Amino acid sequence: MRFKLLGLLLLTISQLGWATVKIEHWQTTQGGRVYYVYTPTLPMTDIRLTFDAGSARDDTKFGLAALTASLLGNSSGEWTTDEVANRFESVGATFSNGVSEDMAWLSLRTLTDKTLLDKALATFQEVVSHPAFNSVDFQREKNLTLAALKHREESPAALASIAFHKALYNNHPYAHPEEGVVQTVSSFEVDDLKNFYRKYYVSANATVVIVGDLSRTQAEQIAQTLLNGLPVGEKPAEIPLVTMPTQSSSQHIDFPSTQTHVLAGLPGTYRKDPDYFALYVGNYILGGGSLVSKLFDEVREKRGLAYSASSQFAPLYRQGPFTIGLQTRNDQAAKAIEVMNTTLSNFISNGPSDAELKAAKQNITGGFAMRIDTNSKLTDYVTMIGFYQQPLDYLETFSSKVDAITTADIKDAFQRRVRPELLQTITVGGK
Amino acid sequence: MKYRLTALLLCCPILTAHAENSKVHEHIFGNGLKILVKEDRRAPVVVSQVWYKVGSSYEPGGITGISHMLEHMMFKGTKLYPAGEFSRIIAENGGQENAFTGNDYTAYFQTMEKSRLEISFKLEADRMRNLDLKAEELVKELQVVTEERRMRTDDQPRAKTQEQFNSVAFSNSPYKNPVIGWPSDIANYKVEDLNAWYQQWYAPNNATLVVVGDVDAEQVIKLAEQYFAGLKPSDIKPLKPQDEIEQKGVRKLTVKAPAKLPYIMMGYKVPVLKTVTQESEAYALEVLAAILDGGNSARLPTHLVRGKEIAVSVGAGYDLTSRLPDLFLLEATPAEGHTVFDMEYALLDEVYQLKSELVSKEELQRIKAQVLAKDVYQKDSNFYQAMELGMLETVGVGWQKADDYLSKLNQVTAEQVRAVAQKYLIEDNLTIAYLDPQPITEAPRPAKMIGGHHAF
């Protein structure tokens, strides 16, 4: 909104050798999985409910999962949308919702003072279990989504991302944008949303994450109560396997911008991938360690070709995208792509040096504490661990798994998993 | 993705008397460097920030954006630590680092595991006085900043509108210039310009060091003394005031850009905490912004996105902590079938309501509950706690204001809210910008796929 603050890229990488987060796990009587961490230092709590109901569940109705989630928080039970908003905010609680490819989530952050907590929770419960799906709310949320889809078309970065996912995933459920496309969203009826909600928002498909100043007994009660209003239902079928592209492709989209946005990559890694740590640590060296990576160094520091140049693996239930991204003045795009491709292929052929690996490990393990130093970050982590059913000691073993990676592991994993001959490249920009 | 801009309350100052009162320890070294330390033992980490009293509002014509350019150059090495070393050392110590530039400040930060604070001090102290500015590094970094400007502004219809809006709203206040600088200024920076700017502002007596985390305040002050206390102070000349001339009459502008959705921005000239004669007015304006856009239950989303359903996004914003008089902002994106002029009328109507009727007790209570909660939520992050102290200190109102915020806001009455609306939200103080979307002429072509694609 306000253009007052300029920074370099904000880092998202971090980590240390300190991990005593105790994650407790149990199931509610309806089969919902609960993950709880007691953090008593501040009188607040985060409660996040996730369902296997992300955009991968859209089938042919692209955007249905996202629109369904966006209706939650509108009129619920006997309360109108205005009343729901008022009930949350009158006690200082914040409610939010959203979807990713794999999950739909509903989040509540509230103070734990009893009066405030009770009102926030009562509201949250109605929002989760008795959404009205009335036609006024539906039409409005649909219109907001359609406006957002239109807005997307003025962004070369957004257009690049849409084309990139399509190139990587073809007909797989990960191929379409989470928020959908105009053709599908305009055709939705309120019954589509009701049916989606009934099928996927069930306790067998739910994960509850509670982080904060609540006792175990309170957490048990809250989780149980939250899911009481939902049918037991059943878990949906597994998301289909990803088919890798068989050869590389390049696609250019003309756009009247001064920069060309470049995205290159292929389906990468998944949450329970045995290669995950080798790819993760390797990628820190290639393009993840934001101010010290090879891509940053080659594209930005040595040549001044772009403001940002980075790569990342986004692990999902199935292989999420491995993405290299940069944006540069239109007439430099070819040069930047050449530097990007050379940097990538050199890294794949040669792997990292011992010194590079050592530096990467020092950063990742030496900064581990910063991964989980706030309730917000902890909630994100525990959500990941719970939703993808990772081991409960995931955080405790994280650093030792990173430390165990060798240069040979990285080279081997990259050679098998990131094959330049399959790379999909998208460019969006002007002449 | 929620398509609703919320007010950018970049700094919601907090009261430290609520959850657990963690004291701020202040010390001033002989060379003028002020250090603020707050102990927060929730996690074994520490954030360290160096705030300089310089930003785009300090810049004369011809070198706008030079504070931001210098921020980039600060990563390009000293005699002791050549280009790239700073970031390499921080990274190898598990640290995260970055920097940001605003109208009124430039700040550098590292977040580290608590035992590594010394590394951060050693490196920051070195680059406070010993930057080694090289012409060949500037050539490359200039290109990077030019790319950054393209990405953030030139190819963003709304950012372009905002930039033009500021340049029309302000006549002679330095807030008329973009933080990143005007293109021709960026293209013509010389090493000498940067060096002069560095010498002029980068000194211990123009800086504040803020440390928040799992540390002992006394030890941190000792450690800082070891690295910073020996640095030479500079003769910092006071800034020329550049007081904005009085506006007499509404200003309107249109920005044409390839876009899909129209957009409107409106801004009223208002005082801020630093410049206001009666402090309560600044807090009343803060409450006013929250009445309009403090969450989903606030007036703008309730009346315009829901209710009349004429907008797909709305926002209001007020920066209490600016150094100079600023703007009270309103913005909106019309819904399908409505125009920016409908938005203008609707927003003016909301302003009119605020001037003619007292806000309800429920609204005031809700906002106070939200502020109280935010006070606790903000303590979840060392970084934002440090940012608040650094910002208040750097704009010249003093970090102690953080302690007043909650009580001052709680004292705001419905009458005071109406009074500031009547006094400041007047047409003579108003600037309006319309984004007029132009066709995106080069329509995306169908995909050109090379070769067969997926194996089945």
Identify the closest residue of chain B to A430 by CA–CA distance.
B442
Cα distances (angstroms) measured from residue B402 to each of B15, B179, B389:
6, 25, 7
- At B442 the pLDDT is 57
Confidence of residue A18 (pLDDT cuts 50, 70, 90): very low
**Residue A400 pLDDT > 70:** yes
B335 touches chain A (CB under 8 A): yes
pLDDT tens sequence across B206-219 = 999 999 999 999 99
Residues 6+ apart with CB under 8 A from A78: none
Residues of chain B with Cβ-Cβ distance to A256 below 8 Å are 258, 440-442
CA distance B30 to chain A (A): 31
Three-state DSSP state, A419: coil
- Angle (CA) A364-A365-A371 rounded to 5° is 70
Largest CA distance in chain B: 73
Query: Would you say how long chain B is, in residues?
Result: 456
Confidence of residue B331 (pLDDT cuts 50, 70, 90): very high
Residues 6+ apart with CB under 8 A from B115: none
Three-state DSSP state, A271: coil
| CB-based burial label for A350 (10 Å; 0-12, 13-18, 19+) | exposed
- Tally the C-alpha atoms within 13 A of residue A395's C-alpha that lie toward its C-beta: 28
> Do B44 and A16 make contact, defined as CB atoms within 8 angstroms?
yes
Of A153, A365, A370, the CB nearest to B96: A370
Residue A382 to residue A392: CA distance in whole angstroms: 9
Three-state DSSP state, A366: helix
| CB-based burial label for A279 (10 Å; 0-12, 13-18, 19+) | buried
Residue A239 to residue A267: CA distance in whole angstroms: 15
pLDDT tens sequence across B4-60 = 222 222 223 332 334 455 799 999 999 999 999 999 999 999 999 999 999 999 999
Helix or strand holding residue A345 (H, E): helix A333-350
Main-chain phi, psi angles of A47, to 5 degrees:
-125, 120
**Residue B324 pLDDT > 50:** yes
- At B11 the pLDDT is 29
Contact B386, B49 (CB under 8 A): yes
Contact B15, B375 (CB under 8 A): yes
Q: What is the mean pLDDT of residues A290-308?
A: 95
Q: What's the sign of the alpha-carbon dihedral B32, B38, B43, B47?
A: negative
Please report how the helices B279-293 and B414-424 are oriented relative to each other, as an axis angle in degrees rounded to 10. Answer: 90
For residue A237, what is the DSSP state?
P
Q: What's the sign of the alpha-carbon dihedral B101, B104, B106, B107?
A: negative
Residue B429 to residue A359: CA distance in whole angstroms: 55
How much of chain A exceeds pLDDT 90, in percent? 94
Cα distances (angstroms) measured from residue A65 to each of A59, A99, B338:
10, 7, 28
Residue B287 to residue B369: CA distance in whole angstroms: 12
Main-chain phi, psi angles of A247, to 5 degrees:
-155, 170
Cα distances (angstroms) measured from residue B122 to each of B90, B116, B118, B200:
11, 10, 6, 22
Q: Which of B59, B71, B141, B163 is catalytic?
A: B71
Alpha helices in A19-113 (DSSP H): 64-71, 81-90
Please report how the helices A354-366 and A394-404 are oriented relative to each other, as an axis angle in degrees rounded to 10. Answer: 170
The token duo for B62 is 């011809």
Confidence of residue A248 (pLDDT cuts 50, 70, 90): very high
**Residue B285 pLDDT > 70:** yes
Contact B55, B101 (CB under 8 A): yes
- At B21 the pLDDT is 55
The token duo for A294 is 């090879």
Identify the closest residue of chain A to B322 by CA–CA distance.
A4
Annotated active-site residue B148? The verdict is no
**Residue A15 pLDDT > 50:** no
**Residue A413 pLDDT > 90:** yes
> Do A257 and B441 make contact, defined as CB atoms within 8 angstroms?
no
> Do B312 and A144 make contact, defined as CB atoms within 8 angstroms?
yes
Amino acid at B270: V
B418 touches chain A (CB under 8 A): no
Identify the closest residue of chain A to B262 by CA–CA distance.
A151
> Do A90 and B75 make contact, defined as CB atoms within 8 angstroms?
no
Residues 6+ apart with CB under 8 A from B150: A258, A259, A327, A329
- At B441 the pLDDT is 79
Torsion of CA A413, A417, A423, A426, to 10 degrees: -90
How much of chain B exceeds pLDDT 90, in percent? 91
pLDDT tens sequence across B136-156 = 999 999 999 999 999 999 999
Residues 6+ apart with CB under 8 A from B184: none
> Do B144 and A16 make contact, defined as CB atoms within 8 angstroms?
no
Mean pLDDT estimate for chain A? 95
> Do B97 and A303 make contact, defined as CB atoms within 8 angstroms?
no
Amino acid at B454: H
**Residue A314 pLDDT > 60:** yes
- At B365 the pLDDT is 97
| Stated pTM of the model | 0.93
Q: What's the sign of the alpha-carbon dihedral B179, B180, B184, B189?
A: positive
Q: Which residues in B251-376 belong to E strands, given as ranges? A: 251-258, 263-270, 311-317, 326-334
Query: Would you say how long chain A is, in residues?
Result: 431
